[in-house]
Amino acid sequence: MERAHPNSIQFIRIGPIRSALPNPDGILLKEVDRLLRPNGYFVYSAPPVYKKDKEYANIWEKLMNLTTRMCWSLIAREVQTAIWLKNETESCRIENAEKKLLRICEVKDDSQPSWKIPLGNCVRTGGGQENIQKLPSGPERLSVYSRSLKNLGISLDIFNSDTIFWQGQVQRYWNLMGVRETHIRNIMDMNANFGGFAAALRTLPVWVMNVVPKSMNNTLSAVYDRGLVGAFHDWCEPFSTYPRTYDLLHASHVFSHYQGHGEACHLEDIMLEMDRIIRPETLRMRPGC
């Protein structure tokens, strides 16, 4: 199932994927193509021992065939590592589609969350560099007011106010918790909105999973535009992660949003899921509930 926003990731690495590459349609690699930004990189690597595997040559042939049809460029190969570049020009894809070498996806409304949507056996067009906002590199990207927010009707003033608010809140949180900066590593923002909370943590040695509830505004593209990582989710269901993964859960307006969602979604169930994924003796924060 699709879980992330298209054209959102610059670098994707996959290890040995026996179940993904040999399938006839290469549908998982087509999902990688959907996620990669133009001029993004795909890296396939495997331990040297895999070269002795009798299936390796067959897997490599299928991989080369599919990436060529999708018009990726193989830019480096050494031992068991290969790197492809997703080209920004789309004339090659259109030509291959005319030759029936691949299928172009129907035009889709990306303003709707990619949630429980079956993977498509096709590749997208319309994601060329001219249609995607050029983003700065490094820390400056955290302050980007993205085109996707403008399309949602969210103004620059609202974005800046949100950024300033979370900068102040993070300082208050750490003062209240009274913990060392290195005490917390894995953080989840259960309602990330524009990613302001994660952006405010930029000077701390932490990693943040930003979750955008699928029943709220589709702001996940703005999260990725800031150089952050995230996913859609419905908190009426379990989150796909190991138990005891996170040191801190940040739940701003999560409970108030899910009140009244019917018999299939109780706040107690959300609390139990939070208890499952947070480590013992760690923290749960619910500003504004």
Question: What is residue 223's predicted lDDT score, i.e. its pLDDT?
Answer: 93
Task: Check residue 133 and give its pLDDT.
Answer: 73
The pLDDT score that the predictor gives to residue 288 is: 57
Stated pTM of the model: 0.86
The full set of domain ranges for the chain reads 9-130, 141-285
pLDDT for the residue 85: 97
Q: What pLDDT score was predicted for residue 62?
A: 85
pLDDT mean by block of 10 residues, the chain; 289 residues: 75 74 74 92 82 75 91 91 91 93 84 77 72 76 88 93 95 88 92 96 95 91 92 93 94 89 82 93 63
| Beta carbons within 10 angstroms of residue 80's beta carbon | 17
**Class of 141-285 per CATH?**
alpha beta
User: What three-state secondary structure class fits 217?
Assistant: coil
Residue by residue, DSSP assigns 67-98 as: HHHTTEEEEEEETTEEEEEE-S--HHHHHHHH
* H or E element at residue 207: strand 207-213
In angstroms, the first-to-last Cα distance of the chain is: 30
* Token pair for 161: 């106010």
Contacts for 13 with CB less than 8 Å, ≥ 6 apart: 42, 43, 44, 45
Look at the block and give the residue holding tokens 């608010």.
165
